[in-house]
Amino acid sequence: MKEQKNPKGMHIDQHVVDNDNKVMTTNDGVPVYDNNNTLKAGDRGPSLQQDHVFFDKLMHFDRERIPERVVHARGSGAHGVFEATADMSAYTTAAFLKKGAVTPVFTRFSTVAGFKGSTDLARDVRGFSVKFYTEEGNYDLVGNNIPVFFIQDAMNFPDLVHAVKPEPNNEIPQAASAHDTFWDFMSLMPEAAHMTMWTMSDRAIPRSLRMMEGFGVHTFKFVNAKGKGTFVKFHWKPRLGVHSVAWNEAQKISGFDADFHRRDLWEAIENGDFPQWDLGVQLVPEEDEMKFSFDILDPTKIIPEELVPVQIIGTMTLNRNPENFFAETEQAAFDPGRVVPGVDFSDDPLLQGRIFSYMDTQNYRLGGPNFHELPINRPINGKHNNQKDGFSRMDIPKGAVSYFPNSKAEGCPYHAMLKGETGYQSHKQPIDASKVRARSDSFADHFTQARLFFNSQSPEEQEHIISAYSFELSKVNDVNVRRRELAILNQVDQNLAKKVGDNLGLVPPKKLDELTLKFARQNHPEYPIQPKKPEVEKSEALSMKVKPGEGTIKSRKVAFLVDDGVNQSSVDRMKRQLEKEGAMAVLIASHVGKIKYQEGGEVEVQHSYLTDASVLYDAFYTPDGDSVKKLADNPDYLQFINEGYRHCKALAFAKGAEELAKRSFIAKDKGVIFESSDNLTDDFIQVMKEHRVWEREKPRKVPA
């Protein structure tokens, strides 16, 4: 029979599926009663392995992309070491956390939404995952640069990722959340309000991977030698501080150097500027599990540091780049379910789902169950079990036995308990609950911590959040989606909602949309539920603004804007002072190759005004010399200093070069340093330590 086609050449057959007015089903056609909650032992209890609806959904999701990761596809990695600096034996038996222990690590940073070829500077969450090669096996601390997440239950994870990915009909946009499907999903999920506040903040556009905080996101458990459990949240605190780029800057960096973060990390390690983070923990005794106004098992909540301070317990140093990107960074397999004795899981329902999903994903993505034999994934203490077959087996296991118990191999490999040795034991947690597909009402407060985050920002950071929401929602075509999200913002902060609404030409609704309420009540039938009074209204740790005297310019790139005839002593004086502080001086001229000094002699220049842009640098210095006359007639030079000024960066001018500032729209402020009136090097360095001159932003309407 001749194949039938419609006029556009599309096949007409039974494979065309229309979901309009259809009940949701599993892939086997079984109607789904609840697509929001995993099956648990009680509404705050652990998820159950018999949840076939969840497994059906997640196993399909984990296999949707070949061969790159479904999420976190674009990543950069580095090797290093972790040194424990505090005695944690009262809380955990984990050997790598014994004071003085030094453990090799591999760390991978990544964006979430974009494909492998997308830009580093997308507005996005950043993955921050560390593989510890401990003497008791591999431990993976799989986290992000934001301490909370969009959703509370793993059942919604495929939906979240489908919403933020390019729209399926046209594969647009790439590596961006400013489109209808993402905000349609967000506007129907009040639980996402806190996380979207973080992603609309400057946290989502970091200056460098070396300048990001990292978080374990979930609440985990430490277990000590007596079997006592303690809830724990993990924090990575960067030694270089937490810094961002401006949104306008990020868009331009994406055009000039889409590998900006990857290159920055690689070059820093190659130059010996090894990035460091302190590992901190927040510890909550078991008996204090229900102490707070929020639920510590809720992954959309933080524990404010005012309530539980972060204790520093060790330092990670990244000191070696990969030899081969594919063999190491691309094949590194992370799994939050990979824990060691002394570390265990809480009943966080999102964490419970990730324990299954990540292992399943790696089995699929890396070609079978033996991905742990790849060099980057191998434990340093070896592996010994009865699993001898499977795709991509690289080891050659000896012997005729592949089962347990056995006598032919004298019971080997043996259970630790059979010889009185310590092995991995889960925390003995009593459970007495009914099997339910439901969510605890202690998870129902969706706006208090979103408000806490917004209130904790500096005025400049708040304006950036307003600008980010305005930009994102302006890209949304469906006005109903815009209104629904404005209604959510109105529950967080009315001034925030009004300002975003003004930029969209809309009045924010006072109440949540009926459709949003309908979905919220599937999880909490009595929603909205009156929230408890929060313990804190502001948290200093949530703002990125640097306090005077607390910053550093270590490894920052300072553009020296020069040309033939530049004064060498003017260059060298500033260069020496900056290098004492750990910064880098990069000469940029009208051409690459050799340029001549005013005093005679030459210097090799590898960067020019045509190949580089101001957005790639942290500050700018113009030396004096005969070069000043040439720069005065160079529009690319003027573009450099004007744009650097607009992005609130420090600019220094040697005495003979001060007239160049007058040829631009640059106005004198504390971040514009003149040798004739200021302490040139000291003032320049001090302003750089504050990262930006934010006071410059508002009156001049600098794009954020």
Is 647 an annotated catalytic residue? Answer: no
Contact 102, 81 (CB under 8 A): yes
Specify the DSSP class assigned to residue 496.
H
Buried b (16+ CB within 10 A) or exposed e, 358-390: bbbbbbbbbeebbbbebebbebeeeeeeeeeee
At position 519, the amino acid (one-letter code) is: F
Interatomic CA distance for residues 417 and 287, integer angstroms? 29
At position 587, the amino acid (one-letter code) is: L
* Sign of torsion over alpha carbons 215, 218, 224, 229: positive
Prior bond of 168 cis (ω within 30°): no
Which are the contacts of 295, defined by CB distance < 8 A and separation ≥ 6?
44, 301, 440, 442, 443
Is 72 an annotated catalytic residue? Answer: yes
Contact 664, 207 (CB under 8 A): no
Enter the tokens of residue 292. 């707070």
Instruction: Report the candidate in 357, 675, 692 with the shortest Cα–Cα distance to residue 546.
Output: 692
CB atoms under 10 Å from CB of 573, counted, come to 15
Enter the tokens of residue 517. 């309420």
What is the distance, to the nearest Å, from the Cα of residue 593 to the centroid of all Cα atoms in its chain?
39
Secondary structure element (H or E) that encloses residue 661, with its range: helix 658-662
Distances (CA, A) of 52 to 155, 216, 362, 624: 12, 27, 20, 72
Which are the contacts of 634, defined by CB distance < 8 A and separation ≥ 6?
563, 590, 609
Contact 578, 586 (CB under 8 A): no
Contact 602, 594 (CB under 8 A): yes
- Helix and strand tally (H, E) in the chain? 17, 20
- Among the listed residues 144, 321, 377, 490, the single catalytic one is 144
Longest dimension (CA), the chain: 89
* Sign of torsion over alpha carbons 607, 612, 613, 616: negative
Enter the tokens of residue 248. 């306008």
Enter the tokens of residue 110. 């990544």
Helix ranges, 435-589 (H) = 448-455, 459-474, 479-492, 494-504, 514-523, 568-580
Which are the contacts of 197, defined by CB distance < 8 A and separation ≥ 6?
450, 453, 454, 465, 492
Catalytic positions: 72, 144
